[in-house]
Amino acid sequence: MDLCHVPPTQEKGWYLALMAPNVKGPNYAWLDPSRLYCHPQGLQDCVGDLLQPFQGDPIDMVAGIDAMGFILGAAAAAVLRKGFLAIRKAGHLCVQTLAQPYTDYSGREKVMEVRTDAISPG
């Protein structure tokens, strides 16, 4: 699918075909969403579908996990007119942080961080 094409009937998730499968091997994510981000209608529909389950819910802020989550999270925050909290890989922030270990999609142990002044209890 080219970056200008929008199908005449847009079924839910039609934009998923824009994501290219991994051709580099097991050390890379299984899909590359770059083309989805370049497609104006695809990105808009994707963000709309991501937000749909939360319609009517009180949302104070949107958070996105390092790299791929920054794009969709920031887009969702913009649509909602809310702030965006970047959850970063450890060591990338120059301020005080809260850290949380996790296991990524490839089974590697990593640590994510957020600024301590970005969120508060409640």
User: What is the domain partition of the chain in residue ranges?
Assistant: 1-55, 58-121
Share of the chain above pLDDT 90, in %: 57
d(CA 65, CA 77): 13
Residue 112's DSSP bridge partners are 89, 100
Using pLDDT thresholds of 50, 70 and 90, give the confidence band for residue 4: low
What token pair was written down for 122?
A: 């409640």
42, 66 in Cβ contact below 8 A? no
SS3 content of the chain, % helix, strand, coil (to 5): 30, 25, 45
pLDDT mean over 66-91 = 94
Amino acid at 69: G
Average pLDDT of every residue of the chain: 88
- The whole-number pLDDT of residue 106 equals 78
Fold of the domain built from segment(s) 58-121? Rossmann fold (3.40.50)
Which residues lie closer than 8 Å to 32 by C-beta, 6 or more apart?
19, 20, 21, 22
Max Cα–Cα distance, the chain, nearest Å:
50
